[in-house]
Structure 1
Amino acid sequence: MASAPAGPAPAGGRAAGPSRGRRAYPRYVAGKLAGAVVSLFAVLVTSFFLFRMIPGDPVKFMTGGRPVSAEQIAVYRREFGLDLPLWRQFTEYCGKALTGDLGTSYQFRAPVVDKITEALPNTLLLTGTAFVLYTALGAFLGTRSAWRHGRLGDRLNTGLALTLYSVPSFWLGLLLIIVLSVGVDPVPGLFPTGGMESGGEEGFAYVVDVAHHLVLPVVTLVAVEYGQTLLVTRSALLDEMGSDYLTTARAKGLRDDLVRRRHAVPNALLPTVTLVFVNLGRTVAGVILVETVFSWPGLGGLFYQALSVPDLPLVQGLFLVFAAAVILMNTLADLLYPLFDPRVGR
């Protein structure tokens, strides 16, 4: 018996493919956004309970260590809500955080949001400058190393990157201060030991002064961080180099440089893009140890200062901002993946 014609079925099948893709991407986006919300709530809970395990009494700090009466201690605890049961403190903290109120700093007696807003530009200047430099340097050297893998330049690049990536940032910062700020014969002290400005400068002279203070912390961050980008880029490109489409491109007569730039590098971008977005989220958090070593007045230094009290509202607010920046950038990277690889989100 002759089989029935199956003409309409392929048409229906072809139509279902793009339709499923269009329906799948909104679900993909919704899943990523839901995951980000859950992560933020987990951070909110963690930031509240984690820092209450830090040894130290904020009331003693607020009284300056002076002997005070029980009535005065009770006033301080009531003023900052420390007399409430823990569950009441938590619910009030969550409710205020959802409205953008992160509380009042114990040591500065100012809204936490104001202190974060004040220090944020300084952190973005330092870590943003370093981010651009170490991303560009790592991606460039990673590409060159992969394309010439096994040669002397590749071995030197990867060896130096692994060495610097393993070095603690605070140790490298202290070493640079000793050599280039204090000076070691015959090298004189060329840069300030810390801070963001010398004071008293205006206009272009102020810009030059800030740039002068910026050099050593930026060099520290670039030296420690560029290796990660280099290694990820190199690994991703090495995975692509044996692909058939590169052999085909060379067979068509394309120069080796064009094969690398037009074909290999774009297809190896996905892991590097992930890393770039993760590092971009970290630019808001800054690098606590580097900012502390160089006395840079940013969020990292503020976080270290708040931990020493402990200034619970300020520590909680900074931790929430740091984590939220990373979560936001990771989510944005996930949402942009389909632009680089159409298979994602389908």
Structure 2
Amino acid sequence: MTAFLLRRLAQSAVVLLAMSMLVFAGVYLVGNPVDILLSPDATQAERAATIAALGLDRPLWTQYARFLLDALHGDLGRSFVHARPAIGLILERLPATLELAVAALLIAVALGIPLGLWAGLRPKSLAGRAIVTGSILGFSLPTFWVGLMMIMLFSVRLGWLPGSGRGETVSVLGVPLSILTADGWKHLAMPAFNLALFKLALVVRLTRAGTLEALGQDYIRCARAKGLTPARIVGVHVLGNILVPIVTVVGLEFGGLVAFSIVTETVFAWPGMGKLIIDSINLLDRPVIVAYLLVVVTLFVLINLVVDVLYVLLDPRVRLGGEET
């Protein structure tokens, strides 16, 4: 296990280095933030002074070398717009995004696995077919449209839930959390379900397919021949054997929830990283864009590592590091 973790950490460092090069080059070759930061009436001397102050007058490779050196010390640059460390701006918004992503993931798993099991155990029933149809709609409906319809129905027409914002928060060890207040839950409900909709459909389809495949295996027939109860067959033998692919997909999809919550956060004015990156792109705030992308890449790397370790915990037949079973 130790050798595997060390090897994966080394691979992760290489991935982060490669991604930092791609992200830095891609972002810094697009547009000129000086054109946005300064008014059209600015003199040439003012433009030159601003370019020099932002370090944009140096060659690209020199800027990247400086960025890499600072990144090793935890400094991912200063925001052009806010004049603050970019990583600080990201970390301020990170709790809100993680809160939304975790809530969406829990909704997707808590509803998706039981619904997928039901659809797999009774594929020809009316309920099973309705679940499959609903999962197709979950894949097909645009996230922004669903979000707007939810606001129109539950916020404007019925007045049950607030349509924007994060609501009241409580500070825990300096981290503001809205899930600890009733008002926070009201603000979280719609964006969390909206973000979870696509993942919910994915979990339903994956669970249903795994259940149908497992029911045709010999070990299920053997379990039935032994006289095991249907609940034990489903809970131990079926669910236990389909959890590994589900954990794999759910783990990777959690990274997607964090990275691609931009649309949901924009629709519901949720103060997370997604809204920050949209504002930064509009203003060509390069350090914030680079910091955001590197934080997302780091999250994906860590999630992949956690998923690999969970393989062994869920299925002892899986061995890390290429060991033979």
Q: Taking structure 2 as the reference length, what is the TM-score of the superposition?
A: 0.89
**CA deviation map 1:219-248 (0-9, x unaligned):** 212223201111112222222211111111
User: What's 2:166 paired with?
Assistant: 196
Instruction: Give 1:166-245 correspondences, 5 Å limit.
Output: 166-183=140-157, 188-197=158-167, 207-245=181-219
How far apart are 1:66 and its partner, in Å?
A: 4.3
Q: Distance in 2 between matches of 1:162 and 1:95?
A: 48
1:60 alignment partner, one of 24, 35, 39: 35
> What residue in structure 1 maps to residue 222 of structure 2?
248
Residue 50 (str. 1) matches residue 50 (str. 2): no
Deviates more, 1:298-307 or 1:34-43: 34-43
Which residue of structure 2 lines up, in the alignment, with residue 126 of structure 1? 100
Q: Does 1:333 align with 2:307?
A: yes
SS in 2 for 1:50: helix
Q: Note the 1:1-346 alignment, pairs <5 A.
A: 28-55=4-31, 57-63=32-38, 65-183=39-157, 188-197=158-167, 207-285=181-259, 287-339=261-313, 340-344=315-319, 345-346=322-323
Instruction: Give, in whole Å, the separation in 1 of the partners of 2:317 and 2:5.
Output: 14
Quote the Cα distance in structure 2 between the aligned partners of 1:115 and 1:29.
30
What is the letter of the counterpart of residue 191 of structure 2?
Answer: P
CA RMSD of aligned residues (A): 2.3
Structure 1 residue 79, shift from structure 2 partner: 1.4
Structure 2, unmatched stretches of 5+, are 170-177
> Is the CA contact (8 Å cut-off) linking 2:93 and 2:273 kept in structure 1?
yes
| SS of alignment partner, residue 283 of structure 2 | coil
Q: Is the 8 A contact 1:122 1:298 kept in 2?
A: yes
Question: Displacement, 1:329?
Answer: 0.4
Q: Matches of 1:319 and 1:130 in 2, distance apart?
A: 21
Task: Give the Å deviation of 1:52.
Answer: 2.7
Q: What are the Cα deviations for residues 130-152 of structure 1, in whole angstroms up to 9, with x where unaligned?
A: 11111111112112211222322
Counterpart-to-counterpart distance in 1, 2:225 and 2:168: 60
**Partners of 2:145 and 2:30 in 1: CA distance:** 25
- For the residue of structure 2 that corresponds to 1:196, the secondary structure is coil
Which structure 1 segments of 5+ residues have no match?
1-24
| Deviating more after overlay: 209-218 vs 243-252 | 209-218
Shift of 1:93: 1.4
* Residue of structure 2 equivalent to 1:17: none
Q: Distance in 2 between matches of 1:198 and 1:331?
A: 34
Amino acid aligned to 2:124: G
Whether the aligned pair in 1 keeps the contact of 2:251 and 2:307 (CA below 8 Å) is yes
How far off its partner does 1:112 sit? 0.8
Percent of aligned positions that are identical: 32
Q: Does the 8 A contact of 1:142 with 1:232 survive in 2?
A: yes
Q: Cα distance 1:26–1:211, how it changes in 2: closer, same or farther (>3 A)? A: closer
- Code of the residue aligned with 1:44 in structure 2: it is S
Q: Which amino acid aligns with 2:37?
A: M
Task: Report the count of equivalent residues.
Answer: 312
| Structure 2 Cα separation of the partners of residues 39 and 162 of structure 1 | 35
TM-score by length of 1: 0.83
Q: Post-superposition shift, 1:29?
A: 4.6
Q: Distance in 2 between matches of 1:45 and 1:100?
A: 17
2:246 and 2:46 mapped to 1: Cα distance? 56
What corresponds to 2:173 in structure 1? none
Contact 1:148 1:154 survives alignment (8 Å):
yes
Partner amino acid, structure 1, of 2:259 = A
Shift of 1:210: 2.2
Q: Distance in 1 between matches of 2:144 and 2:257?
A: 17
Tell me the CA shift for residue 53 of structure 1.
Answer: 4.1
Deviations 1:306-344 (A, max 9, x none): 111110000010011112101210122123323324244
Q: Secondary structure at 2:167's aligned position in 1?
A: coil
The amino acid across from 1:213 in the alignment is H
Offset at 1:294?
A: 0.9
Q: CA separation in 1, counterparts of 2:190 and 2:310? A: 34
CA shift, 1:181, in A, is: 2.3
